[in-house]
Structure 1
Amino acid sequence: MSDRRPTSVHIREVGPRDGFQNEPELISTPDKIRLIEMLSRAGYKRIEVASFVRPDVLPQLADGEEVLRGIRIPDDVELMVLIPNTRGLDRALSVRDRFHAASIFVSASETHNQKNINRAVEETLSDNEVMARRILAEGLKLDAVIATSFGCPYEGKVPLDRVLGIAERYAEMGATEIGFGDTTGMANPGYACEFFAAALERLPGIELTAHFHNTRGQGLANAYAALEVGVDSFESSFGELGGCPVPAGSTGNIATEDLASMFEEMGVDTGLDLDAVIAAAREAQAVLGRTLTSHSIIAGPVDWTGTLASH
């Protein structure tokens, strides 16, 4: 066991935003509200619930205001929304009293940023600076996300120094948490160790969040590697929902229930009720009408009581 391994972690559930946005069939607003409320009773302290992308670009999340107005969650659960641009921020602030944190974002890869939001990285960062000032003036927590932090299918390996330089700019803007996204599943455990060891050293006082995808089956191994060098903040999606729409084939966030199961079996406290997370994932499976890919939906939690032996 590494002496840097945390004994407890924070897991933000991103399924209601990152997960739902990839679903081709529209999920009804009441179903979204019901699933978010189920998640909120599973022990989460952080849930990402909406994105204020243009409705014509992402119809699946066009009901962000209605979802935020409709959900009823425990007072100690922090709700976060994703803000793509100034227009999206205007929409979000119309329901300012319904969430606690706003997340701004950019891709570390110039090509991915252009294909994803049709903007240059520097243009995006300049707009982020304006939004950051407004977000902080509203008394909201400012989070930042850097997509393609570990690699880009268009440009290959993204230089670590470039990613951390962007992170430092976000810290200067006032972000207290910075997430690093393995947007198209290109990370590996060795590089995850190297990456986060450098990030932790270079960004003291900032909460660093690991967001891995399971596109190539290495998501949990990468999360383990990040944990071993001291990362205690993670994002994942119930049911292994989600992925990146650019490019095609970049499927699969880590399933929250699989991540939580692994950590709990290692003696790392997640604060989550694993049975409740699995129940929410199974309910999402029923709503979507298709089989989801998380292992824990099928196998359930590890049973150390040996109860099957009696059957």
Structure 2
Amino acid sequence: MKLPGNPKVRIGICVFAFFALVALVGPYVVQNLMGLSPSDVHTADAMQGPSGAHPLGTTATGEDVLAQLVVGSRVSLLVGLVAGLVTTALSVLVGVAGGYLGGRADSVLTVLTNICLVIPGMPLLIIIASYVQGRGGWLTVALIIGLTAWPWGARQKRAQTLSLRHRDFVTAAEMTGESRWGVITRELIPSLAPIISVSFLGAVVGSMFADAGLSFIGLGNINITSWGSMLYWAQNGSALTRGAWWWFVPPGACIAVIGVAAGLINFGIDEISNPRLRKPPKKVRDRAEAAKLRRRTEERAEPATAPKAQEATS
């Protein structure tokens, strides 16, 4: 598989691929090959720093931090992926359909979007999560996040659809007898692919942040090992005041690195889709620098040759 030529996109995809690989095969390697378990309690090894036996140290109850980090990556990535898919699907359905159909359908969908936008997202998420707390696993958390995070994306996609629905390619598809949903799925959504991909990545990372935040305040399923539950138990165990940096820094750093990777991919997609943001090739830059240098040399040489020319004319 050939990666895109943009270096930012390459770096971002490589980071996501690394974490996906860790989530897929990491638990097997850690548990079966290294003999580490995320839930085995060893009080004699409690609060130990990184060592050969425990590469990332242990928790207050002697659980291995590396094993928890690797096993928890699967849950955190699944929550982000599922919630991102739900958020993106709802935002595309509501935004693109409302922007293209217009009329009463657009009015109803716009009112629904505005009502959801008026309600503060995080308090609503906290209320719903506290109501269903302990009644489901990571899938329930992902669905809650996805069902409460779509309005902003829907509003953005509706605005972009309004600018596209009178373009020539849409008019041509309508004149050939294409149905409305055919125009939406075959013409508008492919044209909005860069915006949809950017919003999907943002939704994935935002969902991971939301999951970590809910788990940190105790509203997620803290019995399931995830990066958020690691932060929750680290806070409960006073890891910061006790100087146990190895307990809370790794999960926080992983979430931050994924956020940076998503930002790099977003910037790269913007550069690919917008020619004005693209950096010219190195040969073009070298020729431009050489032309500037020649102009500067000529400008410096002109004052020295001007007096000689005046003396010759006199």
Q: TM-score, normalised by structure 1?
A: 0.26
- Could you say which structure has the greater relative contact order, defined with CA pairs below 8 angstroms and 6 or more residues apart? 2
Instruction: Please identify which structure carries the higher strand content.
Output: 1
Q: TM-score, normalised by structure 2?
A: 0.26
